[in-house]
Amino acid sequence: MDEPRGEADPPAPPPAPRSLPAPSRASQEALWRDAGLVRTREGLERLRDDPHRLVRLVAAHALLREESRGAHMRADFPDTDPALDLHHSVSRAGDEPPVFERWT
């Protein structure tokens, strides 16, 4: 059976994206130093107090992943954890900490 073809209201347009100001030079340097290719818990913890929200989010997600994977190495967790295969860290709305979700 075919669906009726009535005149439906078009969906509302998505909200306009909010842009963040660019991080300061100091935040950029801290991000490269503490969340670059080689990371440590101490360096990532320092980033949690950065004034830029995106830097704090990078730190929160990197702290959650206690393993080395891809291009990023955790000096304190040098091995890849097979239990985290197919798992991605995801941010939720508000100030909730990131969580792992399994994506297949």
Share of the chain above pLDDT 90, in %: 75
Reported as a single tens digit per residue, the pLDDT across 33-70 is: 999 999 999 999 999 999 999 999 999 999 999 999 99
Tokens encoding 15: 């909200």
Going by the DSSP 8-state scheme, the letter that residue 72 receives in this structure is: B
For the entire predicted model, the pTM comes to 0.78
pLDDT band at 99; cut points 50, 70, 90: very high
Phi/psi region, residue 86 (left: phi>0; alpha: psi -120 to 50; beta: rest), is left
CATH of segment(s) 25-102: 1.20.58.100
